[in-house]
Structure formats: structure tokens, C-alpha cells
Amino acid sequence: MIDTHIHADARSSEDFEKMFISGIDTAITCAFYPYNLMNEVVLLNHLERILNYDTERAKKYGIDLKVALGIHPSNIIKSPKIVFDKLNEYIEKKSIVAIGEIGLEDLSNEEKNIFKKQLEIADETNTNVIIHTPRKNKLEVLKEIKKIVLETIDPNLVIIDHINLNVIDEVIKEDFTLGLTVQPKKMEVDEAVAILKEYGFDNFLLNSDISNMPSDPISVPKTIRTLKKLGFDSKDIDKVAFKNAEKIFNL
């Protein structure tokens, strides 16, 4: 099973153990520093830590931790160039499976410029991007993300994450892959199941987005086991359990 979006740096060894026992073999951890950054070196240190430290920590518990790195919209820095250069280096060395999570929150020009630049790097290097959509003004921000993305990058490289029933119609007809985040107080297993039942299993990924916000490290196994209990076709279940993720991330 693959959990396609977590924040391993915010989680404990015990969580990795629970995840592994519940059937998760691989997880993709995304960049996000949970506090104001004094400068770009703090963000670089965060990225290097994820790449070199959290991957090893997860490995001890059987989890193959793949990495997505980038500048999260809550981590806007004044001199992003040093990070853009580093992203190109990571891509060249095949250290990361995607640029992420990136996206928009406040729709400021600074945020849009950094988002667009990262999409350009992804498009030029044929790299996937994992795009965050916010809690507040989700539909409004999603529309802006969709506009910028369609102007800038091949939509087949794009995963738009944290999609729910309220906003899905805005993006379902494009060639994006969509992420369903099953998370306490945001999206229950039932809503993910309802979306898959209505829209099919081909273009969706499942994830827990575990971070230091309220989380459930085994929300992906819970969703997969619920689909099984409800009698969905095992070929469909396999798509969201691991096959779609293997395909898009080339795992």
C-alpha cells in the first residue's frame, strides 16, 4: 500500500511502525516547515533533513520513504533562487519523485511567482508536482491554481491534492491526477469512498497527510479495507492502494 502524501518529519517512530503493520510499504513525504522561516537556509536545512534523515528513520520500520521537495505556499522566502537551484540538482540526481508540496494559499503575487517558477522547473525536467489546496477558500484558490497550471505545465505531471466533494467538479475533467486526503475533521473514509464510487478509480491517489495537525497515520489502510468490506472490485481497489501511485511516480 502507498500513502502518497505525508510529512514524516513531524511524525514518530511509533507511527511508522503502525503504518507498516497496517500494510503501508511506501510513503511519499512532502516539504513543509511549520513555522515562519527566518531565511532560505532554514528551508534548505529542512529539505536536506527530510532527504537524508527521515528516509533513514522510516526505513528502520520497513517504510520505503520517497521524497517530494519544494516551497510550500506557507513557506514563502525572499530569495527563493537558491532553493530552485537545489530542486534542479535533486531532480538531476533523482533524489526526489516530485516537486511538492507547492501551491497557493493567499493568492499574493509573491506566492504565485514562486508557484509558477516551480511548475516551470517541473515542466522543463518532466517532473511530477504535488499541489496543495488550502482549507480556506478552497474553490477560489483551486480555480487560480488550475488557471496557472494549465498555462504552465503538462497536466499529466500534476497531482492536485486535498480534493473533496465540494470542489471536485472544478478539476475532474482535466488530465490531472487527484489526491484524496482522508484526515480527521476534514474528510472521513465515507467521503473518499463516495467520490471513488461516483468518479471511478483511475485518476485518484489516497493519502493521510499526517503532520503535526490532527492526523491518522492509518487512514489509507482504513480506506482500503473499507473498500474491500464494501465489496468493491479488487482491481479497482489496487489502483488507489498502489497501482496509480506506482504509475505516476514511476516507483
In the complex with a copy of itself, the residue whose CB is nearer, 189 or 193, is 189
User: Which has the closest alpha carbon to 65: 116, 112, 110, 26?
Assistant: 26
Task: Look up residue 171 and give its three cell numbers.
Answer: 478539476
- By CB under 8 A, residue 234 contacts a copy of itself: no
- By CB under 8 A, residue 57 contacts a copy of itself: yes
- By CB under 8 A, residue 155 contacts a copy of itself: no
Which one of the spans 5-13, 67-75, 132-140, 222-230 is the region binding a copy of itself (CB under 8 A)?
5-13
DSSP helix/strand/coil, 163: coil
- By CB under 8 A, residue 44 contacts a copy of itself: yes
The DSSP secondary-structure symbol of 206 reads: E
Cα 225 versus chain centre, distance = 21
Report how many residues bind a copy of itself under the rule CB under 8 A.
26
> Least distance (Å) from a copy of itself to the CB of residue 41?
5
Orientation of helix 138-152 relative to helix 109-125, angle to 10°: 40
Per residue in 67-102, is it b (16+ CB within 10 Å) or e — as a string?
bbbbbbbbbbbeebeebbebbeebbeeebbbbbbbb
Q: Which of 20, 23, 42, 193: binder of a copy of itself (CB under 8 A)? A: 42
> Least distance (Å) from a copy of itself to the CB of residue 213?
7
Which residues here bind a copy of itself, judged by CB under 8 A?
10-15, 34-39, 41-42, 44-45, 48-49, 52-53, 57, 210, 212-215
